[in-house]
Amino acid sequence: MVELTRTRDSDALSYDVERVRADFPVLSRLVHERKGKPGKPLVYLDSGASAHKPRQVIEAMSRFMEEDYSNIHRGVHFLSQRATDRFDAVRGKVARFLNAPSDNTIVFTRSATEAINLVASSYGRTFLKEGDEVILSVMEHHANIVPWQLLQAEKGIVIKVVPVDDEGVFDLDAYAGLLSDRTKFVAITHCSNVLGTVTPAREIARLAHERGVPVLFDGSQAVVHRPVDVQEIDADFYVFTVHKLYGPTGLGVLYGKYELLKKMPPYQGGGDMIEAVSFEGTTFKLPPTRFEAGTPPITEVIGLGAAIDYVESLGREAIAAHEDDLLKYATQQLSQLEGLRILGTAPGKGPIISFTLDGVHPHDIGTIVDQYGVAIRVGRHCAEPLGERFGVGASARASFGLYNTRAEVDALVSSVRAVKEFFGA
């Protein structure tokens, strides 16, 4: 993981997780309160599915609605201009967050899913034809598989799949072997939502670029854990979702190199994205506006700005060091449980631990640990081909965020012990 900044132990030591936790109102609530029985403290280990929001984000969004809210890019009135300025400022903030070269390379979408669909539809339909090959990896989220399969059904493109080894490491040699003159697009996760594997993004892009092939990275699980620099990676497209970055739902981000975005036709038509409309013909604005038809999620964009400010105030390297510490500790503690198998042990992985327990269905693990207040994800994690690769249908997944603690790891481990005892496993 060359392109991700290495962390120092001293960062983890100076990180005041209790102060961080105080920023998240939900973390102080109890769950499963029953008559006569006090509830259990919430142990939230499901940030990989969606992260909680700090007070700074919640307040920025309500303050915006109370004080500055209006539709944007239309009105001449005071509030519309004010809302427009605040909205546009966040685009710049996102550009700096990814080290994108300019604001107009940042497109706001409804989700990471929509961002990938935008590229598959707009770029894919225009520039890919029958027999052209698109390379994905076996550890893609369904959001980075199904849009390409829709294109396959429509255009007859061919999908090639890069394997991972038993540790979950991306097989760079196999990838290099799949690249050929037929390859016309590469779309790979930057961090697996199941294995935690961080892919060698810069190398993936370099090899594709040798053949003039553009690369999209799905960074939904990467930006939340580590600094990401799209120029250093040399990503052509980079996608992430905001609700996992401590911001609101309903908003995703697409970064695209401007010369590529400029060549791409609109994905959806409507207001705001047009230059002039007549029944003889309509002309479109330049990117990113071309790809933002209709009223965008204005309040959510303000929330994203606050989320970026929040993450940067803690320091992305400090967050990474803290989460690495949790990952190491949790891996070590869980590994001591007999019959527990961790899926994905790639060096440099993100703070995500998927596991199975001999003789126990993952849904039972999830249900029982929940009785102890421990929230984990169980199921196929929107990555069914990967489960097949590791010979498991479903699995349990604990994912860590900037607010988790070693004590919460202990709570997870003791609740999994209780599962083992319950099943005599």
Annotated catalytic sites, by residue?
Answer: 382
HSE-up of residue 137 (Cα within 13 Å, Cβ side): 34
322 CB-near residues (< 8 Å, 6+ apart) = 11, 12, 15, 17, 402
Among 241-249, 309-317, 335-343, 410-418, which window interacts with ligand PLP (CB under 6 A)?
241-249
**The binder of ligand PLP chosen from 137, 197, 199, 220 (CB under 6 A):** 220
* By CB under 6 A, residue 112 contacts ligand PLP: yes
What's the alpha-carbon Rg for the chain, to the nearest Å?
22
Among 75-83, 121-129, 215-223, 317-325, which window interacts with ligand PLP (CB under 6 A)?
215-223
CB of 136 to ligand PLP, least distance (A): 12
CB–CB of 252/110 below 8 Å?
yes
Closest to ligand PLP by CB, 193 or 415: 193
C-alpha span between 409 and 233 (Å, rounded): 33
CB–CB of 78/234 below 8 Å?
no
**The binder of ligand PLP chosen from 141, 160, 377, 420 (CB under 6 A):** 141
Closest to ligand PLP by CB, 91 or 381: 381
H helix and E strand count, the chain = 16, 17
Closest to ligand PLP by CB, 69 or 175: 175
Closest to ligand PLP by CB, 243 or 389: 243
Please, what sign has the CA dihedral across residues 304, 306, 310, 313?
positive
* By CB under 6 A, residue 299 contacts ligand PLP: no
Bridging pattern class, strands 158-162 and 395-399: unpaired
Among 18-26, 108-116, 150-158, 283-291, which window interacts with ligand PLP (CB under 6 A)?
108-116
**The binder of ligand PLP chosen from 7, 113, 122, 354 (CB under 6 A):** 113
* By CB under 6 A, residue 111 contacts ligand PLP: yes
HSE-up of residue 224 (Cα within 13 Å, Cβ side): 33
CB–CB of 33/21 below 8 Å?
no
* By CB under 6 A, residue 300 contacts ligand PLP: no
Q: How far are the Cα atoms of 42, 56, 392 from residue 352, in angstroms, in the given order?
A: 19, 25, 17
Among 2-10, 110-118, 304-312, 390-398, which window interacts with ligand PLP (CB under 6 A)?
110-118
CB–CB of 223/240 below 8 Å?
yes
* By CB under 6 A, residue 143 contacts ligand PLP: yes
Among 60-68, 120-128, 154-162, 240-248, which window interacts with ligand PLP (CB under 6 A)?
240-248
Reported as type and span, the H/E element at residue 100 is none
CB–CB of 185/128 below 8 Å?
yes
What mask, x for binding ligand PLP by CB under 6 A, covers residues 252 to 281? x-----------------------------
285 CB-near residues (< 8 Å, 6+ apart) = 272, 273, 274, 275
Closest to ligand PLP by CB, 122 or 189: 189
Peptide bond into 288 cis (omega under 30): yes
What mask, x for binding ligand PLP by CB under 6 A, covers residues 167 to 196? ----------------------x---x---
* By CB under 6 A, residue 397 contacts ligand PLP: no
**The binder of ligand PLP chosen from 137, 197, 241, 415 (CB under 6 A):** 241
Site of interaction with ligand PLP (CB under 6 A) = 111-113, 141, 143, 189, 193, 218, 220-221, 241, 243-244, 252
